[in-house]
Amino acid sequence: MAFSFEGGEKVGKIVHILLSFFLSPLIIFNSALLKKKLPHVSWLYYFLFFFFLCNILQWQLTFFLNNPWRYLEKVLAVANYRKIEVKDIAYADLINKHAHNNSLDPCLVASVIAQESAFQSQAISPTGAKGLMQIIPGTWKMLWEKGYVDKKYIYQRALEPEANIAVGSKYLKILINKYQGNIVLALAAYNAGHGNVDKYHGVPPFTETRLYVKSVAQNWSQMRVDFPYGKLIAHPFLQTNYRYFFFLNCSIWLILFFWLYRTRSLFYRF
C-alpha cells in the first residue's frame, strides 16, 4: 500500500505541474486584468517557462516549414526511378522525347518549363535567358562548345522549342548527376547557379531560389497522376495548423506585455 500511495502522490504532482503550466497564461491574464497580486510567485515561473517554450517551438516550426529540403529531396527522388510521360500539355511530344534521351522524368522537365516560362517559347528574361527553359547565353554556349548537345542546336536557335528543350534537358541532367541524384540541389543550381549551391553547401538562402524549388516541386506533384499532392507537404497537420500556433504565440506575447504594463515590473507584485 505504501508503494501505491507514493506512486499516486508522484502522479498527483505531475498532474499539478502540468495543469499549472497550461493554466498559467490564464492566471497571469486574470492578475493583470484585475490588478491583483498573483496567488503565488510560482505562477510567474510557470508562465515564463510556457512563454519560452512556445517561442522556441515557434522558431523551430517556422524553420522546418520554410526549409523542407530534406523532405522534398526524398519526395522528388521518385522522379529518378519512376518516370511518367506528360500528356495534354504544350510541347508534350518534345518534352517526352528529350526527357527520355536524358533519362529524366518528363513531368520534371515540364515542371521546370512551367515555372521558367509558363510554356511561352519566345520568353526572354531581363538577364538574357531565353526560351521555354530560360537558358542563359553563357550556359548554352558552354554546353555546345563542350559537346554536351548536338552541334545543330546552336545558340541562335534558343527560341525554337525543340532546341531549347533539348539543351535545357541536358543541362538539368548534368546538374542532377553532379549532385548525385539530388533533384532539390539540381533545381537550386538551375536557378541560382551551381557555384552558389556549392558555396552554401545546399539550397542558397535566396528567396527567389527557395520559392523556385518549392514551385517546381508543386508543379511536378500536380503533373504526376500517381502522386497525391498532399504527400508533397511535410507533415500536413503542421502545415495546416501552423497559423493557429502563430496566433497562440502572439497571444502569449500580448498577455506578457499586458501584465508588465499593469504591474510595472516583474517583481512589483512580490
- Residues present in the chain in total: 270
Residue 157 per-residue DSSP state: G
Name the nearest CA neighbour of 135 among 182, 177, 168.
168
Find the Cα–Cα–Cα–Cα dihedral 160, 109, 103, 93, rounded to 10°.
-50
116 annotated active-site: yes
| Phi, psi torsion values for 130, nearest 5 degrees | -125, 155
The grid cell for 94 is: 518534345
Distance (Å, rounded) from C-alpha 69 to C-alpha 204? 11
Distance (Å, rounded) from C-alpha 255 to C-alpha 50? 12
Query: How many angstroms from the chain centroid is the CA of residue 229?
Result: 14
Distance (Å, rounded) from C-alpha 2 to C-alpha 10? 12
Whole-Å CA distances, 165 to 33, 130, 147, 212: 66, 11, 16, 19
Identity of the residue numbered 188: A
Which one of 9, 73, 116, 145 is the catalytic residue? Answer: 116
Residue 135's DSSP bridge partners are 130
**Other CB atoms within 10 Å distance of the CB of residue 235:** 14
Name the nearest CA neighbour of 120 among 107, 131, 109, 129.
131
Catalytic positions are 116
